[in-house]
A and B are shown apart, each in its own frame.
Chain A
Amino acid sequence: MTFEPEGTHSNASMRNLHLLHGTLPHEVVCTENLTPFLKLLPCKGKAGISSLLDGHKLFDANWQTMAVDVKPVCPEDGTECILQIEQTVDMVLDIERSKRPRDNPMPRPIPTEDLVCDNSKPYHGGDSCFPLDRTSEMSWSLNKVFGRPLKGSCPLTTEDGRDSETVCINVPHEREVQERTAADLVKKEHEDGYLRCYKISPNLDFDLILPEQYLSSNLPLSHPSLHAFRSITGHGQERGGVRAILTNPSLTSPVRFVYLESLPWFMKPYLHTLRATISSSTAPLPDQYLEPQQAPNTADPIKQMYYRPAVDRHRGTHLELLLELPPASTLTLTYDFEKSLLRYTEYPPDANRGFDVAPAVIRLLSSSSSSSSSNGSSLLGASEYLRTTSLLLPLPTPDFSMPYNVIILTSTVMALAFGSIFNILVRRFVAADEAPGYGLVSLKGRIWALAQRLKARLRGKGAKDE
């Protein structure tokens, strides 16, 4: 339910297609992660907006994602199908932090004289400063934020039109934006009052400079249609629980979505503990919404469920739920799980960190398409997906120094056992009185032998001297 093939597929090829779904819940970011991504681009990060992508800046962002979507596109006129690759990079930058020079990224305290203080405080003086919130828009430029200007455009088309506008900035029109480039550029301000796009020339540096400014209006942000939050509950080495809180902020429209959990096999959910409870949001609601809301509250929010249990060491749990959430309400989804013990070779080197559990994937279904998507045959355009944060699952971890201790101990025991057994095996036991070399007789013999040896040596020396 969650994933469907995108693009155009013929019915014949659809039969041979498999849906594969895999997740890598945790990967340590590295600036090198960007290189293969950039290599897919036509200009390889040398020109166009991708020239701004610098591993240091990208992974220093407060939040970032990279996505590659591939889909076949077959034109209507029946010509050959092509594969369309869409690459997306989203990053949320802290402008103040990004503006720091790269060779001096330390957040040193700002000089005292630069502090913006609230002078109205009674204690305000030479050594106390209650910091004031910034009311103006911060000044920034591409060069300052990314450390380099845009290195020209990477034109994929020679025609004029929407596709040739390669750089767009989404700020209110009253915000002053200075463009700095050596050549002429085409600028187009869109009618909605916020978007402006530029057609820039290839090969020439381009920079956008936004000075500090006081604005009367802010950019209207689109409100998400669903808030999702997932966390692990409980503590201890044996059991735990997962709680997902899904909130529909909209006051008017219900939201239908598919919730997909793919859990690793060592996290065994008890499906009978799955509970979905709906509570209306604490936000005050207009009266007219209260009445119709009572009815869906009592209804089961789980409309459909697909569950494939885990097989130890082969596949994880797959759980898909089709849920419907009435307006202005919160759905709490809880289930318990059991932590299983791994074999000691199955632990990663950083076993005590815990094990990552992949994020839940939520696919929002628009109300019109919900009927068709539930039977799984419709081909939708781009669906809206949400992902929760991944979870860290502490599993019972053995003390890995214990095998070491055991090895040392068993080796000692084995060495002792082997030593004594070997000793017994190679030694010849005779009674004390039978043993040669003891008693008076032998003493005499020994002295005799010693004398003989001495004699032989003396004689040998004498022979040499001759």
Chain B
Amino acid sequence: MSLLSALLALRRDPRILRLPPYVSALCILIGVGWLLLLPLNEYSRQTYVSENAILPGQVHTYFGGSEHNIFRAYRHEVAGLAESSEEERVGKLGDIFRSSGLKVAAQKYEYTAAGRNTTGKNVYAILQGPRADATEAVVLIAAWRNMDGVLNQSGVALVLTLARYFKRWSVWSKDIIFLIPSDSTAGPQAWVDAYHSGHDPETIESLPLKSGALQAAVAVDYPAGPWGHRFDKLHIIYDGINGQLPNLDLFNTAVSIASGQMGIGCTIQRMWNHRDTYSERLQTMLRGMLSAGLGHATGPHSSFIPYHVDAITLQTVGDGWHDEMSLGRTVESLFRSLNNLLEHLHQSFFLYLLMHANRFVSIGTYLPSAMLVAVSFTIASIALWVQSGQPTEKATVGVWHSDEADAKEQDVTVVEQDGMTALISTAELKVVERHMLLPIAFVSAAHFLGLLPLYVFTRASATTLTTTFYAFATSTALLPALSAVALSRLFAPTSQQWALTACFSLLLLGLFLSALATLNFSLAILVGVLGSPLCLVPALITSTPSRTSVPSTSVAAGADTSSSHRTTSTGIGGSVANVTLYVLLLAASPPALLLAACHYWNANVGAVLAAAGTAWHVQGAWTGVVVCLVWWPAWFVAAVGVAAGGLGL
């Protein structure tokens, strides 16, 4: 009994109620600090090939010798096609495949996104494995133009040569599909959609020729001209759409074959010189998280990953002494390893962060950081809930414990339960009714309002995107203040309702983020950290004394009594503080942060938004959805709360 009453007393302890903002801040700090720990040797692990069947680098590779002459000839052919039309190119590439004895087919596609049309024609050939029963296939891709729009001359030539060379082997127990899409994002997407019959037949042709279930895909990006270029390292790109990743075994196999068997150094996330120091590991990891958080396509392989086809891109970088034959042998060895697979790649990790070509952390180690960030919002929300249910006058807690007589003088209630009787202060039993309709309606409305920017930004054409963005940014800055005025005029919300509004909004944000953390960890922690001011904002408003002690005095003001109370108690100071808070919050708004990021990376806002729109339409990346329907509404609700405080409503 005494324990219970002590706990009850604790519930009312003002010190406890002042704690949650600090706990929230602590959660965020620990969450971010956790990330900083990950690159340490104690928290990350050396990569290893988990699937025993792969046997990376155990085969002797024979790609070389006179194949080099053929490769050079094909490279000249590809260079000759640089200026030719789509039809001519597809015809010529098809002829080369056909002369190697493969079945060839082509596929036209057309996408309309951000007011632009993307058209192209994929050409692909199928090598039916002599030991295969056409139930499984692996894909070798060389996009005609790579992600930077550069002609992938040596890559295409290498695929043509390898197709001819692979045809001579009798070991293939899976079909091999050689795919040459006309670009690096839309083309592979159209092809893989059509392969799984998930395409829109109006704009994308169905595939006339198919093989079995796709097991893995490897893309080659080697944009060296007709006279070749010796490269230094292989840059292995592994991010898929929406932060999905290929099985770590595929990546490990590529790394172990390239570095172990061929002696080619491997690098990831554009870290050209990685000396495996702490800061470089951290930087690699953060780059990977940013890339996964943006959820965009990073290479021709990206489109395959949502279909549970593990895929990577091998990109050549730097000036060194490795030539196209080394890359060809790497691909050969990689395909021999994939050919060994009896089952779909499933042994190793699908959720991981890489910080070096052979160092990673798995989800069990890094997930707590995103969860802690998400929990900070939930804590803030629970604190607001408790606060909103508090009676207005202070309960005289603790007094009656020490002094029975004193307690009896107070207004007490006799509680009888299970044959026991207790005297409890009435103030403690008093329940404040929560008026939840308005907060729930407002929070839902804010979330539905998020559909508007989503619709506008995904539908607007590329030319108008910049102006649309600035219009949106301006309205984002003004809308909270206007909404605050409108809400006060129309509904005259009490401070309890303001608190509940913030509470529900934060609860939803915490919920969304913790769910998102399991799907796309990087996006969740990105939004969580960028949105972290939101969980401190209610505390900052309520920390002005007026907020906690509530509707007693000036009902005459008509509007929220708390603000008038505050004006009386803290005067102009509170308002100024809130206006400052509003300005600070504006700086943390999604459009402002987008602008800042564009400025930092020297990118054009319009181009970034156009790319996001294209990614949404073509690849189904839902980063925009998260920003518009999760982050922006949460920010909006917080900003309205601050504006209401700042305007003294």
Chain A residues within CB distance 8 Å of chain B: 26, 29, 59-63, 94, 96-97, 105-112, 114-115, 117-118, 121-124, 127-131, 133, 229, 231-235, 241, 243, 350-354, 356, 389-392, 394, 397
Contact = CB atoms under 8 A, between A and B. Distances in A.
26 contacts: A97-B130, A105-B170, A109-B63, A109-B65, A110-B65, A110-B66, A112-B65, A114-B66, A115-B70, A123-B76, A127-B72, A133-B99, A231-B210, A234-B196, A234-B197, A234-B198, A235-B307, A350-B342, A353-B342, A354-B344, A356-B135, A390-B133, A390-B135, A391-B135, A392-B213, A397-B346
A59 B129 CA distance: 12
Contact of A29 (B74, B131, B135, B165): B131
A32 to B, nearest CB: 16
B17 interface: no
A352 B346 contact: yes
Contacts of B68: 127
B196 A392 contact: no
Contacts of B63: 109
Nearest to B63: A109
Contact of A97 (B62, B170, B307): B170
A100 to B, nearest CB: 9
A121 B170 contact: no
Given A108-B65, A392-B136, A128 B72 contact: yes
A235 B135 CA distance: 15
Contacts of A112: 65-66, 69
A390 B134 CA distance: 7
A62 B196 contact: no
Contacts of A106: 60, 62
B67 A232 contact: no
Interface string B337-361: 0000011101000000000000000
B70 A129 contact: yes
Given A121-B76, A243-B197, A60 B170 contact: yes
B377 to A, nearest CB: 30
A351 B72 CA distance: 44
A352 B344 contact: yes
B345 to A, nearest CB: 8
A50 B635 CA distance: 80
A109 B64 contact: yes
Given A234-B198, A352-B344, A129 B168 contact: no
B121 interface: no
A459 to B, nearest CB: 62
B392 to A, nearest CB: 48
Interface of B: 60, 62-70, 72-74, 76-77, 99, 128, 130-131, 133-136, 164-165, 168-170, 196-198, 210, 212-213, 226, 307-308, 342-344, 346
Given A354-B213, A389-B134, A394-B213, 4 more contacts: A108-B65, A231-B210, A234-B198, A389-B133
Given A235-B308, A390-B135, A391-B212, A111 B66 contact: yes
Nearest to A357: B135
B212 A351 contact: no
Contacts of A130: 70, 73-74, 76-77
Which DSSP category, helix, strand, loop or mixed, fits chain A's interface? loop
Contacts of A123: 72-73, 76, 226
Contacts of B60: 106
Given A131-B99, A390-B135, A62 B73 contact: no
A107 B69 contact: no
A129 B197 contact: no
Q: Which 7 A-B pairs have the closest CB atoms?
A: A233-B197, A109-B65, A107-B168, A352-B343, A130-B73, A392-B135, A129-B69
Q: Which of B72, B136, B226 is most buried by chain A, counting CB atoms within 10 A of its CB?
A: B72
Contact of B343 (A108, A350, A391): A350
A389 B135 contact: yes
Contacts of B74: 130
B77 A235 contact: no
Contacts of A61: 130
Nearest to A236: B308
A26 B65 CA distance: 38
Contacts of A243: 197
A425 B58 CA distance: 59
Contacts of B64: 109
Contact of B73 (A128, A232, A241): A128
Contacts of B168: 96-97, 107
A115 B170 contact: no
A236 to B, nearest CB: 8
A128, A241, A351, A394: which has the most chain B beta carbons within 10 Å?
A128
Given A107-B62, A109-B64, A391-B212, A131 B76 contact: no
A107 B169 contact: yes
Nearest to B74: A130
Contacts of A235: 196, 198, 307-308
Contacts of B66: 109-112, 114-115, 129
A351 B343 contact: yes
Contacts of B226: 123
**A241, A352, A356 — which one has the most chain B CB atoms within 10 A of its CB?**
A352
Contacts of A121: 73, 76
A390 B68 CA distance: 38
Nearest to B77: A130
Contacts of A127: 68-69, 72
Contacts of A107: 62, 165, 168-169
Contacts of A234: 196-198
A397 B203 CA distance: 35
A353 B69 contact: no
Given A108-B65, A129-B69, A131-B70, A389 B212 contact: yes
A61 B128 CA distance: 12
Nearest to A97: B170
Nearest to B137: A392
Contacts of B65: 108-112
A115 B198 contact: no
Contacts of B72: 123, 127-129
Contact of B213 (A105, A115, A131, A232): A232
Contacts of B69: 112, 115, 117, 127-129
Contact of B133 (A26, A115, A231): A26
A394 B67 contact: no
